[in-house]
Amino acid sequence: MGLQGTLYVVATPIGNLGDITFRAIEVLKEADIVVAESTARAMKLFSHYGIKKTIVTVSSYNEERRSANLVKGLKAGKNVALITSAGTPCISDPGSVLVSRCIEAGIDVCPVPGPSAVASLVSVSGLFADRFLFYGFLPLKKGKRKKALQELSEFPYPVVLYESPRRIEETLGFILDILGDRRIVVVKEMTKLYERAYRGSVREVIDLIAADEKLGEYALIVAGKEKARPAPDFR
C-alpha cells in the first residue's frame, strides 16, 4: 500500500491579498486538490498568485458526502489543501467535518497558520483579553439571539462575535438591552479598503454605526461582566 496524503488546513487572507504566508502559497501550489468554500473567492486568490488547481467546493449541505470522497483520495496518496472564503478554516466556516473524518481515518492533518479575524480583532481591541470567548455568529432568529446573549451576559471575559450588515444595528441594540452599556470594539471590512473600527460604550458605537454606511461583515468584541465591587466597610 502506498503512502497516504496529508490534509493541510490553510489560512488565507481575510481581505487584503498580501496577508498570506509564503508557506501557504507553496502548499496551495503543491496540493493535488484544493477544497474551498467559494470557487469565486478561491479563484481570485489563485489568479493573484498564479496558482492553477482543481477546486472542490464544500458547504454545510454537502460536506459529509464530499468528505467521504476526499478521504478516499487522501488514502490513495493525494495531498489536499483546505481553505475557506477568508481567514482560518473551521472557525465559523465549513471544514470541521472533513478534518474529523480525516482524523478518524488516521490521515495526518497539518495546520498552515496565518490570518484569523478572531486573533486580529482581539489584538487591536485594547481590551485585556488574555482570556476570551469566541462565539461567532449569533442565531438568526431574534428570540434565539436574545437567549444566546442572556447566556453570555454573566461571562466575566470578553466575548467575540460576528455579524452581518443587515443585523448589526439590531444585534447591538440587543447587546445594550441584555448585557448593558459595556465597552465594545466593532471592526467592519477588516484589512480591506473601507476598514473602520468603532470604539466606546455600546451606546456610543450604536450611534457611530447608525451614521455610517453598512458594508461587509462585522467583528465585535464586548467586554466581560465586571465583578461587583465589595461594599466599603465603615466599621
Domain boundaries, given as residue ranges, for the chain = 6-112, 117-222
Mean pLDDT along residues 65-79: 95
Question: Is the pLDDT score of 175 beyond 60?
Answer: yes
Share of the chain above pLDDT 90, in %: 85
59 pLDDT higher than 80: yes
pLDDT tens-digit map of 182-207: 999 999 999 999 999 999 999 999 99
- Mean residue pLDDT of the chain comes to 93
215 pLDDT band, cuts 50/70/90, is confident
- Domain 6-112 belongs to what topology? Cobalt-precorrin-4 Transmethylase; domain 1 (3.40.1010)
In this prediction, residue 1 carries a pLDDT of 42
Please provide the DSSP assignment of the chain as one string: -PPP-EEEEE-B-SS-TT---HHHHHHHHH-SEEEES-HHHHHHHHHHHT----EEE--TTTHHHHHHHHHHHHHTT--EEE--SSBSTTSSSS-HHHHHHHHHTT-EEEEE----HHHHHHHHH-S--SS-EEEEEPPSSHHHHHHHHHHHTT-SS-EEEEE-TTTHHHHHHHHHHHH-S-EEEEEESTTSTT-EEEEEEHHHHHHHHHTS---S-EEEEEPPPPPPPPPP---
Position 230 confidence tier, pLDDT thresholds 50, 70, 90:
low
pLDDT at residue 233, as a whole number: 61
Architecture per CATH, 117-222: 2-Layer Sandwich (3.30)
The pLDDT, as a whole number, for residue 60 is 80
